[in-house]
């Protein structure tokens, strides 16, 4: 199952401080096949991570362990995502 984590920046200084650890964490999870894709929003107010997890509990644990979430630099909104497969027919 896929889960979208919306990460809104609430403390720019903390975000800048923990961004390297955030990127290292995502890279590690990508190599473990737990992150499908990730990136910032164009408005620079946060970003999104698409997690691959076997359960909502696993996705929540992965998302909450992100350093920018742990340190209070960003809020976390986690939602299960049903990605469409193309072509639709």
**Tally of residues, the chain:** 89
Degrees to nearest 5, angle at CA 72 with 71 and 76: 115
d(CA 76, CA 88): 31
pLDDT tens for 51-81 read 999 999 999 999 999 999 999 999 999 999 9
* Phi–psi pair at 87, nearest 5 degrees: -70, 155
In the chain, where are the structural domains located?
2-81
Q: What's the order of all strands across the beta sheet hosting 2-9?
A: 35-40, 46-52, 2-9, 74-81
Note the pLDDT tens digit of each residue in 25-49: 999 999 999 999 999 999 999 999 9
Task: Identify any residues that bridge with 76 across adjacent strands, giving them in sequence order.
Answer: 7
| pLDDT of 89 strictly over 80 | no
Q: What is the pTM of this model?
A: 0.94
Q: What is the CATH number of domain 2-81?
A: 3.30.70.1060
């Amino acid at each position: 199952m896929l889960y979208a984590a919306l990460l809104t920046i609430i403390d720019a200084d903390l975000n800048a401080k923990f961004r390297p650890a955030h990127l290292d964490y995502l890279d590690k999870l990508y190599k473990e096949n737990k992150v499908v894709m990730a990136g910032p929003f164009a408005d620079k107010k946060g970003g999104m991570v698409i997690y691959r997890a076997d359960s909502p509990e696993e996705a929540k644990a992965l998302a909450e362990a992100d350093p920018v979430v742990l340190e209070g630099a960003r809020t976390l909104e986690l939602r299960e995502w049903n990605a469409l497969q193309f072509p639709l027919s």
